[in-house]
Amino acid sequence: MVLAVHCGGVVSDPAMSAELTSETVSDRCDGCDVREPKLFDHLLGAMPPAPPQNTRRAEKIAELKKMTVEGRWAFWQEQLSRCIRCHACREVCPNCFCVTCRAEQNSPQWIEPSATPRANTAWQMMRVLHQAGRCVDCLECERACPVDIPLGLLNKHMADVIEQRFGYKSCDDPTVPAPMGIYRSDDAEEFIQ
């Protein structure tokens, strides 16, 4: 039996006051339009008021988009250089469920096991691409990261690209096919040229 509750937002840090303000509301609430679950047996409680607006994440994304390609590359190289390859992001992700992760596969070895800049970039790019069309933007990867890499920004960018190219937004409706699992004859394939 699935019990569900309406969402009125969450605080960014559980140690904070339970009162939601624009300063205390989690970045994961920014742009979230799923306040009532769709798959449940029993829905509990009434719909609470919408959470306060939080634009911190949108501002970070806008700042990244203003950068040159070289500037963004430098930003991500600096961020990913801190990765210690603990895989906390993978372990906490509700959508990572492969029996053998590509990061641990050694025959063939897709990704170096050491925490080098090249291996860290390969690991995080592979992780983000693997979540394309599946990431629900819960930001648990970012919360679990012990070195505070803004992984949610990578995931959000990928989700935006998927929505832009395929008109698909990750959802909890199992009847909506994900873009990576279907073939469409009208797919422009402009990125393959």
Report pTM: 0.80
Structure confidence at residue 74 (pLDDT): 95
- pLDDT, tens digit, for every residue of 89-101? 999 998 888 887 7
pLDDT at 113: 78
Q: How many helices (H) and strands (E) are present in the chain, helices listed first? A: 6, 2
Q: Is the pLDDT of residue 193 over 60?
A: no
DSSP string, 142-182: HHH-TT---HHHHHHHHHHHHHHHH-----S-TTS--GGG-
pLDDT tens per residue across span 11-68: 888 777 678 888 888 888 887 888 888 888 999 989 998 888 888 888 999 999 999 9
